[in-house]
Amino acid sequence: MNAIYRTSLHTDRQEELRFILSRSNLIVEKCRSRENLGVAAPSHRLTLALSHWPRFYEAVCCLGAFMKPLPAPAYQSRSCCSYTCAQTPEPLVLELDHQEQIHLSLQDRQGSTFLEIKSGPSLAGNADEVHTIRIGPTVWSAFLTTLETLAQIIVEL
C-alpha cells in the first residue's frame, strides 16, 4: 500500500495507534509498543474506505462531544478532554457495505468515558473477526487532532 500520510499516537497502556492514509483507505491499527515486544505487530485493525470517511468523522465528533474528563486526581496529573454531558448518546452503526459494519459507542469505565470503535463482518458472526479500538480521555485530544489533520488531507485528495 502506498501511504500518503502516517502517524502514531502512544497511549499510557503501552499501546500505539497507527494511522495510515492511502488514496483509497484509512487504516487504524492498535499495536503493542515496541519497547515491550521488540516488534509492534497490529492486534486490531480498522480499514475504512475514504468514501465512508465523512460519516465516520461526523460520528466520532458527535460522540466526542459527550466525553467525560478523568476523575481527580488523575484529572490533575494527565491531559484529558474537557467535554462533559449527563447522558450518553446511543451507539451509532455505520454500514460500510452489506458485509462490514462499524459500531461506535461511548463506554463509561471507572468514571471516565471511552470511545469504543468496533469493526467487522456484520458484528453478529465470529467474535474473532471483530476488531475493537478504545480511545480514552488521556488520548482523546490527540486522537481528535489526528482526525482533523486527516480530514484536511482527505479534502485535498
Extents of the domains making up the chain: 5-156
**% of the chain beyond a pLDDT of 90:** 33
Q: What's residue 44's pLDDT?
A: 82
Q: What's residue 77's pLDDT?
A: 39
Closest to 132 (Cα-Cα) out of 60, 45, 56: 45
Structure pTM?
0.79
Cell of 68: 467525560
What is the per-residue burial (b if ≥16 Cβ within 10 Å, else e) of 2-21? eeeeeeebebeeebbbbbbb
CATH for 5-156, among 3.90.110.10, 1.10.3660.10, 3.40.190.10, 3.30.2450.30?
3.30.2450.30
- DSSP secondary structure code for residue 123 in this structure: T
